[in-house]
Amino acid sequence: MKDKLSVVKIGGNVIEDEKALDIFLTAFAKLGGLKILVHGGGKLATQLATRLGIESKLIDGRRITDKDTVDIITMVYGGLVNKKIVAQLQAKNTNAIGLSGADGNSIHAHKRPVKDIDYGFVGDVDGINSELLTSLLSINLTPIFCAISHDGNGQLLNTNADTIASEIAIGMAQHFETTLYYCFEKKGVLLDIADDNSVVKHINTIKYNELLSDGIIADGMLPKLHNCFHALQNNVEKVCLGDVSMLDKKTELFTTLKL
């Protein structure tokens, strides 16, 4: 019988709010069993770029990652945000270790091919080093990943944090009974975006297609749920979406996805 593993991705809006982040990290620290945390950097990278006089380029809401931007996200995601999270978890008796995908060759990726748009130094994940992560977990270390991968040739790559969480969960599913959590400011997938309590509690493939055709799932939720079902189709046990109360079991009002 496999041990249980939780892979948790924290949303950018939570990271930007110190109080919300502390509440989240308290819940994460109390989460039983083996666990891995994945984070991005929210708007902090854009804010630093502005302070340094570096223009942030976005196309259809997606960041174009030029050389200067790679440096910025490395500073913010891999430095400031990652180490603050690690330090706060240490204070909560969780022996966290901060990592990027380059550390221990833990997340290998390739630069996204140029089609209609050149996104620059953006990585699409090829695979994760599950043996390394299993070794870290076996000595009671809790990996904390920022949203940076590498190509094996010395280039760091900006990589979607939702995708990294999904790929880590998939890679670890061969070793563990894995649950993937997307923890953000909403209580789950909502029928009505204006009503925080209109949570769709259970979604399978049939329900997902219904919600798609009804336009309930749209915009930023589309790629998130794509990552969810990609994980489920690759041996991840279940995927849950909701706010921090989902982690500390204070509510049943969150979304659970299964095939």
Binding-site residues from annotation: 41-42, 63, 158
The 3-state secondary structure of 99-139, one letter per residue: ECCCHHHCEEEEECCCCCCCCECEEEEEEECHHHHHHHHHC
CA nearest to 146, candidates 132, 158, 129, 130: 158
What distance in Å separates the CA atoms of residue 33 and residue 3, rounded to the nearest whole number? 8
Q: Locate tokens 């550390």: which residue?
A: 103
Binding residues for substrate: 41-42, 63, 158
Looking from the CA of 171 toward its CB, the CA atoms found within 13 Å total 21
DSSP string, 143-198: EEEESEEE-SSS-EEE--HHHHHHHHHHHHTTTSEEEEEEE-SSSSSBSSTT-TT-
